[in-house]
Structure 1
């Protein structure tokens, strides 16, 4: 791939803007030598304004989403893309969220520009466990775990029952819920179906992958070992 197209696809600007970067000598190799648009250079050796070029296509990141941040590129208010380098929202292919966490839910959010990986993660066949920490408005009655595990619970406006889910109670209003599917606002709707309301919701794990020390608003790229962990049984 031509260097101009490569750098433009990573969100550094339009092709015309990237051509100007070359003309101004702002694209160099690791030793500081100015590069030209038709040079053949390894990705890891390219620098823009002295900084290493962003990761190539195939980027997957883990982000600790805070509450009050929306998984969107266009909604009003704070967006998950505001927590990343500005050019990340202009990458081509697009860096997409893998599913969504609603505005009032915090925790582990994955983003990728690898369409095949995205579909592998969200596919119903994958049944990757998603672990949520839940704080509730009312005390649990004691029968919720059985209802969630039954595989018979129906949500309003749904035509098929939920897959069995595991509920572990820690306190009268605190629990961990493990899901194996991802329906719209599923956790909140499940507790509403049993007469309760979710006050706070946090996703701590997807598959075998957790936040691993990421503070709210922090993110990190995932490597092959992380992806193996994600899909580990």
Structure 2
């Protein structure tokens, strides 16, 4: 027996916290009955668990991909407001349990991971794992040496001090181009860090996630990770 939220996470329905939201929203049923109690336990071998009316299973052969996300898509598998979602760009018909590992906001582009392995998703997002993400930012405003130093030391946001970032100015002058690497995952963190030093991010692109890089993957396209890539990614997150 296991908690229903853990079953959903292992089946790749969402993260553990996201699975709890699915239960509270009444989207999960067990043996044909909608369940809203977070403490509900299920038997992996005998109970029928369904999400939005479709039965889901724990599959030990996880499917993990990277997407080069374009701007103009919400990082969610369903949007009540009807906006374009990243679900439209990945193979959910063949792999309905796919979910995004973390998120990129509406206008941010670049590398976005998806997996059907809930435990893997949780491991990569846990703050203690220090998985580094590198972004390229196009900035408006005056990016001073002092501002770069603050980013490297950590800046104070409304939810606390950030960890030190790796920062390199790739193109100085008007509308500078900056590489910034962080290992935290706060909401809109890179944009907020630049805002804290008086700069506005005009464009933001995630170049890498841990050991993974986009390389020549075209915008709007995805590819499956190799076993070696998954192994390296998880090893680096330990």
Tell me the TM-score normalised to structure 2 length.
Answer: 0.68
CA distance in 2: counterparts of 1:110 and 1:80, whole angstroms: 11
Decide which of 154, 157, 161 is 2:156's aligned counterpart.
154
Is 1:96 aligned to 2:102, yes or no?
Answer: no
SS of corresponding position for 2:180: strand
Which structure 2 residue ranges, 5 or more long, are not aligned?
1-10, 13-58
Counterpart for residue 80 of structure 1 = 86
Tell me the TM-score normalised to structure 1 length.
Answer: 0.70
CA distance in 2: counterparts of 1:176 and 1:86, whole angstroms: 32
Is 1:226 aligned to 2:229, yes or no?
Answer: yes
Checking the alignment, whether the CA contact within 8 Å between 2:92 and 2:98 is kept in structure 1 is no
Please tell me the root mean square deviation across aligned C-alpha atoms, in Å. 2.1
CA-to-partner distance for each residue in 1:17-66, whole Å, 9 max, x for gaps?
A: xxxxxxxxxxxxxxxxxxxxxxxxxxxxxxxxxxxxxx974111100000
CA distance in 2: counterparts of 1:56 and 1:211, whole angstroms: 26
How many matched pairs? 175
CA distance in 2: counterparts of 1:170 and 1:210, whole angstroms: 18
SS of corresponding position for 1:109: strand
SS of corresponding position for 1:198: strand
Checking the alignment, whether the CA contact within 8 Å between 1:97 and 1:111 is kept in structure 2 is yes
CA distance in 1: counterparts of 2:132 and 2:180, whole angstroms: 10
SS of corresponding position for 1:181: coil
Q: 1:88 to 1:78 in 2, by over 3 A?
A: farther
CA distance in 1: counterparts of 2:60 and 2:224, whole angstroms: 11
Is 1:213 aligned to 2:216, yes or no?
Answer: yes
CA distance in 2: counterparts of 1:81 and 1:217, whole angstroms: 11
Counterpart for residue 60 of structure 1 = 64
SS of corresponding position for 1:192: helix
The alpha carbon displacement at 1:122 in A equals: 0.5
Counterpart for residue 109 of structure 1 = 112
CA distance in 1: counterparts of 2:60 and 2:217, whole angstroms: 23
SS of corresponding position for 1:102: coil
Checking the alignment, whether the CA contact within 8 Å between 1:207 and 1:229 is kept in structure 2 is no
In terms of fraction of residues, the more strand-rich structure is 2
CA-to-partner distance for each residue in 1:167-196, whole Å, 9 max, x for gaps?
A: 101123110000011100000000110011
CA distance in 2: counterparts of 1:85 and 1:123, whole angstroms: 26
Deviating above 6 A after TM superposition, structure 1's stretches of 4 or more consecutive aligned residues are none
Decide which of 181, 185, 190 is 2:188's aligned counterpart.
185
Is 1:166 aligned to 2:166, yes or no?
Answer: yes
| Structure with max Cα Rg | 1
SS of corresponding position for 1:125: helix
